[in-house]
Amino acid sequence: MIRFIKKNYTIIVIALVYLWACGSIITYRIDEAPPGIKTIRIGHWQLETGVRDAFIELAKDYAKTHPDVKVIQDAIPESVYGQWTSTQLMGETGPDILEMGMAPTQVLLSYYNRYMIPLSSYASNPNPYNKGNEFENLPLRQTYKDGMRSGYLTEMQEYMQIPLSMFAVRIFYNKDLLKKLTGSDKVPRNFAEFKKACQIIERQKNSVGKQYVPIVGSKYHFGLWEWAMCDVLSYGVMDKADFNRDGYVGNDELYIAVKTGRMDFNYEPFKAKFQMVRELSDFCQPGYTGLSRDEGVFLFVQQKAVFMTTGTWDANSLVDQTKGKFEVGLMDFPLPDKDDPEYGGVIKGPRYEQVSTGFPFAIMRSSKNLDTAIDFMLFLTSKENNEKLNKIIGWIPAIKNTRTDPFLADFEPRFEGIYGNSNLFLGGETWIKWMQVYSNYQCKKISYDELVREFEPFYKEKGLYDFMELQMDWKRTIIKKEAFITALWADANLADPVAAKSFWTKYRTQAARLQVFPEIDRAKQMCLVEKGPTLNSNIGPYEYSPEVIQKIKSKLKNKNK
């Protein structure tokens, strides 16, 4: 016996460890789901302050009327959430309720189609947990601040997820440090005042003789500064480049505008954006382009910087980290005024924020307690419960007529305004080249004129290959689109006469959206690129040639006579 144990010692140890692991898992599962109890698992990557506490508290409230239900969280770090989701779904061990994200769009669409249930019927009916309030007879989607738009997937023509919160981005600032360094506790109202405050701050030194940093910079934080404050100056690019007239300029449209000579990198709205990028970069700490998000937050918490931009997802965490040290304030992005000597000519209005909810959850098709999982999500989206959930987390509720924490009042989004139109991302060598010259520009190694001389010819010539790759990427998806549309066609043919009407509407809508209109748009794009600059190539989609303007003036003059 002893000889047998010695000979097979390794195998015996492995077997014992395996049996112990199996026993532990079984015991853990029994503790989680005692006999007679329905267990609902909810998976997410939100490890911020308050999120898990909020789910625990709302689960207790739900248990008061559903004592046979237990809610368990799987809180997974976002760095591995995508891999964890894939593993759980393919192994059919996923949670009943799953936060969707951390994967490429096409992968998520396959997940929705294969593993999740459509929620359109629930979105179109009243939420039973709104009984007794003003939403009692309203469809669930109409109780959302954004009409539940972020829960709807155009590709599937279905509501596939239920969002729980709303997010926005603002500037956090150190109230105590601002007053100490500038002598005023008033926040800058426009860009001129903001720049002046930053100039005063950077001239001040702390107790060890080091200069204060006006703006927290990092790859993460400066990206938000650029997106929210600088990019809006490029709104006017739409006049030159919005060829399909959908109100936005895509990376393909911007390339066509530059390639055909309708605009160049010195076009005033485009140039203004990068001029402001340089000005803001000058107020960041040295070497900020190589710093991480955590390093930027550390600088702010250590009271070495005054202004930092981030979103509501970080609000509670920042307040907790700075408690007892200094008071955190919130302010909007100080855009230039119309009379600003540098940017007044290109600023067309306030910054538009797309009203959209987030923190979205889908329901697993394989859930053993499907009805209970859906019911719990409806519970979380009632007016009272959604307000309570987000109050605990410190986020903005997704449901209308709910109260937001006073600290987050300035996060309420703006429904009207302007947005950026400077998408240079073509991919491939073009993007690599851009990242190289842009990094040098941010670090003041080259001027904007040098950036243009180095990148614009490359963008026009080498960018054509990457532009054509975009066209090929679209063609590569045709087979999948055909399969999707064919499935809709089959559903419409097999459905009963009442349901068939809805399926045929979806089929016609998707056939037009995925097949007809894209073909027309891309044919126009290829025509522009292949013909090259034309006689009126400097005239954009929303502009008139001098000849047309003169004709209009003549007609108006004759009409007035």
The tokens of 113 are what?
């189609």
Task: Specify the 3-state DSSP secondary structure of 358.
Answer: strand
Cα 166 from Cα 247, distance rounded (Å): 24
Per-residue pLDDT at 35: 63
Domain locations in the chain as residue ranges: 12-167+356-411, 169-331, 477-561
The tokens of 233 are what?
């100056």
Per-residue pLDDT at 243: 86
- Which residue is associated with the tokens 């853990």? 28
The tokens of 87 are what?
């593993």
Per-residue pLDDT at 317: 79
Q: Among the CATH numbers 3.30.450.40, 3.40.190.10, 2.60.40.3500, 3.40.50.720, which is that of 169-331?
A: 3.40.190.10
Q: What is the pLDDT along the chain (561 residues), one digit of tens a residue?
A: 667 666 676 777 777 777 766 665 555 455 555 666 889 999 998 887 788 999 999 999 999 999 999 999 998 888 888 899 998 888 888 899 999 988 877 788 888 888 999 998 899 999 999 998 999 999 999 999 888 888 988 777 789 999 999 888 889 999 999 999 998 889 999 999 999 999 999 998 877 778 899 999 888 888 889 988 999 999 999 998 888 888 888 888 899 899 888 889 999 999 999 999 999 999 998 888 888 888 888 889 888 999 999 887 787 778 888 888 889 888 889 999 999 989 998 998 888 887 678 889 999 998 999 999 999 999 999 999 999 999 888 888 999 999 887 777 667 677 778 888 898 888 788 888 998 999 889 888 899 999 999 999 999 988 888 888 777 766 666 776 787 788 888 888 888 888 888 888 888 888 888 778 878 888 887 787 777 666 566 677 887 777 777 888 888 777 766
CATH number of 12-167+356-411: 3.40.190.10
Per-residue pLDDT at 31: 53
Per CATH, 12-167+356-411 and 169-331 having the same topology is answered: yes
The closest of 235, 264, 258 to 247, measured between CA atoms, is 235
CB neighbours (10 Å) of residue 30? 10
The closest of 352, 345, 336, 347 to 195, measured between CA atoms, is 336
The pTM score is 0.73
SS3 content of the chain, % helix, strand, coil (to 5): 55, 10, 35
